[in-house]
Structure 1
Amino acid sequence: MSKAFPRREGVCRLLPLVLWLAVTPAMAVTDEREAQQRIDAIGERIQEVTRELDATGQARDEASEALREIETSLAETHRRLDDIQAQRRALNDEVIELEEERKRLEAERQEQLAALEQQVDALYRLGLTPQLKLLLNQDDPGRLDRLQTYLNRLAEARNARLAELDRLDTALDDNQQALDERGQRLEQLAGELEKRSAELASQVDEREALLAKLDERYATKEARLSALDQDRAHAEQVLQQVQERLARLERPPPSTAISETRGDLPWPVQGKVTSTFRQGRGVHRDGMLIRAAAGTPVEAVHAGRVVFADWMRGFGNLLIIDHGDGVMTLHAHLQHFSVEVGAAVDTGQTIGVVGASGGQPSPGLYFEVRRAGDPIDPQSWVAQR
Structure 2
Amino acid sequence: MPTTKFLGSALLCALLGLALSPDALAQRQTERSRQKVSAEKQRAGIQQKLAAIKREISRTEDQKEDAADTLAESEAAISDANRALRDLAGEQAETNTRLQDIAAEQERLAQTIVNQKKQLSRMLREHYVAGNEDRIKLLLSGDNPNRIARDMQLMGYVSQAQARLLGSLRDNLAQVDANRDKVENAQQELEEIAQEQRDQKALLEKEKARRAALLQTLSSRLADQRKQADRLQRDEQRMSGLVDRLTRLIREQAEAEQRRQAALAAAKAKAEAEAKERALARAKAAAEKAERERIAREEARKNGTKPVTKPEPLPEPEPPKVAEQPKPADTKPTAPPPPEVTLAPAAPAGAFASLRGRLGAPVSGAVAARFGSRRGDGPTWKGMFIKAAEGAEVRAVAQGRVVYSDWMRGFGNLIIIDHGGEYLSIYGNNQSLLKRAGDMVRPGEAIASAGNTGGNEESGLYFELRHRGKAFDPASWVKF
1:43 pairs with one of 50, 53, 59: 50
Alignment of 1:136-215 (within 5 A): 138-215=142-219
State how far apart, in whole Å, the 2-side matches of 1:45 and 1:133 are. 88
Per the alignment, do residues 263 and 115 of structure 1 end up closer, same or farther by CA in structure 2, a change over 3 Å counting?
same
What SS class does the counterpart of residue 338 from structure 1 fall into?
coil
- TM-score of the pair, normalised by structure 2: 0.59
> C-alpha deviations, 1:14-38, integer Å up to 9, x for none?
xxxxxxxxxxxxxxxxxxxxxx999
Contact 1:239 1:373 in 2 (8 A): no
State how far apart, in whole Å, the 2-side matches of 1:375 and 1:192 are. 40
* 1:275 aligned onto 2:372: no
State how far apart, in whole Å, the 2-side matches of 1:156 and 1:327 are. 69
The one-letter code of the counterpart of 2:214 is: L
In the TM superposition, what is the alpha-carbon distance from 1:133 to its structure 2 partner? Answer: 7.4
In the TM superposition, what is the alpha-carbon distance from 1:49 to its structure 2 partner? Answer: 3.6
Q: Which runs of 5+ in 1 are unaligned?
A: 1-35
The one-letter code of the counterpart of 2:66 is: R
State how far apart, in whole Å, the 1-side matches of 2:64 and 2:87 are. 35
The one-letter code of the counterpart of 1:298 is: R
Alignment of 1:73-84 (within 5 A): 73-84=77-88
Per the alignment, do residues 349 and 383 of structure 1 end up closer, same or farther by CA in structure 2, a change over 3 Å counting?
closer
Q: Which residue of 1 aligns with 2:428?
A: 332
1:352 pairs with one of 439, 443, 447: 447
Q: Which residue of 2 aligns with 1:233?
A: 233
In the TM superposition, what is the alpha-carbon distance from 1:119 to its structure 2 partner? Answer: 1.6
What SS class does the counterpart of residue 268 from structure 1 fall into?
coil
What SS class does the counterpart of residue 427 from structure 2 fall into?
strand
Q: Which residue of 1 aligns with 2:110?
A: 106
Per the alignment, do residues 152 and 243 of structure 1 end up closer, same or farther by CA in structure 2, a change over 3 Å counting?
closer
The one-letter code of the counterpart of 1:156 is: Q
In the TM superposition, what is the alpha-carbon distance from 1:72 to its structure 2 partner? Answer: 1.5
State how far apart, in whole Å, the 2-side matches of 1:290 and 1:311 are. 20
In the TM superposition, what is the alpha-carbon distance from 1:333 to its structure 2 partner? Answer: 2.0
Per the alignment, do residues 98 and 358 of structure 1 end up closer, same or farther by CA in structure 2, a change over 3 Å counting?
same
Contact 2:397 2:444 in 1 (8 A): yes
- TM-score of the pair, normalised by structure 1: 0.71
Q: Which residue of 2 aligns with 1:60?
A: 66
Per the alignment, do residues 65 and 240 of structure 1 end up closer, same or farther by CA in structure 2, a change over 3 Å counting?
closer
The one-letter code of the counterpart of 1:261 is: L
State how far apart, in whole Å, the 1-side matches of 2:235 and 2:386 are. 17
2:124 pairs with one of 112, 120, 131: 120
State how far apart, in whole Å, the 2-side matches of 1:180 and 1:212 are. 48
> C-alpha deviations, 1:52-106, integer Å up to 9, x for none?
678x742324xx3220111112222223333333332332232222222212221
What SS class does the counterpart of residue 365 from structure 1 fall into?
strand
> C-alpha deviations, 1:99-131, integer Å up to 9, x for none?
222122212212211221332233244234476
In the TM superposition, what is the alpha-carbon distance from 1:47 to its structure 2 partner? Answer: 1.7
Per the alignment, do residues 160 and 305 of structure 1 end up closer, same or farther by CA in structure 2, a change over 3 Å counting?
closer
Q: Which residue of 2 aligns with 1:261?
A: 355
In the TM superposition, what is the alpha-carbon distance from 1:316 to its structure 2 partner? Answer: 0.7
Per the alignment, do residues 248 and 353 of structure 1 end up closer, same or farther by CA in structure 2, a change over 3 Å counting?
closer
State how far apart, in whole Å, the 1-side matches of 2:111 and 2:247 are. 69
CA root-mean-square deviation = 4.0
State how far apart, in whole Å, the 2-side matches of 1:179 and 1:189 are. 15
Alignment of 1:304-323 (within 5 A): 306=403, 308-321=404-417
State how far apart, in whole Å, the 1-side matches of 2:94 and 2:207 are. 28
Per the alignment, do residues 257 and 169 of structure 1 end up closer, same or farther by CA in structure 2, a change over 3 Å counting?
closer
State how far apart, in whole Å, the 2-side matches of 1:317 and 1:37 are. 19
State how far apart, in whole Å, the 2-side matches of 1:153 and 1:332 are. 75
* 1:288 aligned onto 2:382: no
In the TM superposition, what is the alpha-carbon distance from 1:324 to its structure 2 partner? Answer: 6.6
Contact 1:299 1:348 in 2 (8 A): yes
Alignment of 1:368-379 (within 5 A): 368-370=464-466, 375-379=471-475
The one-letter code of the counterpart of 1:46 is: I
The one-letter code of the counterpart of 2:386 is: L
Q: Bigger CA drift: 111-120 or 65-74?
A: 111-120
Q: Bigger CA drift: 195-204 or 181-190?
A: 181-190
In the TM superposition, what is the alpha-carbon distance from 1:203 to its structure 2 partner? Answer: 0.7
> C-alpha deviations, 1:258-298, integer Å up to 9, x for none?
444321223334x1224241568479944131525627353
Q: Which residue of 2 aligns with 1:25?
A: none
The one-letter code of the counterpart of 2:112 is: E
Q: Which residue of 1 aligns with 2:96?
A: 92
In the TM superposition, what is the alpha-carbon distance from 1:210 to its structure 2 partner? Answer: 1.4
State how far apart, in whole Å, the 1-side matches of 2:241 and 2:139 are. 104
The one-letter code of the counterpart of 1:378 is: P
Q: Bigger CA drift: 181-190 or 37-46?
A: 37-46
> C-alpha deviations, 1:160-192, integer Å up to 9, x for none?
322322222222122112211221221122112
State how far apart, in whole Å, the 2-side matches of 1:243 and 1:60 are. 21
Q: Which runs of 5+ in 2 are unaligned?
A: 1-42, 256-348
Per the alignment, do residues 199 and 346 of structure 1 end up closer, same or farther by CA in structure 2, a change over 3 Å counting?
closer
Q: Which residue of 2 aligns with 1:20?
A: none
What SS class does the counterpart of residue 123 from structure 2 fall into?
helix
> C-alpha deviations, 1:211-237, integer Å up to 9, x for none?
22222446xx7x47515x554322223
Per the alignment, do residues 114 and 363 of structure 1 end up closer, same or farther by CA in structure 2, a change over 3 Å counting?
farther
What SS class does the counterpart of residue 366 from structure 1 fall into?
strand
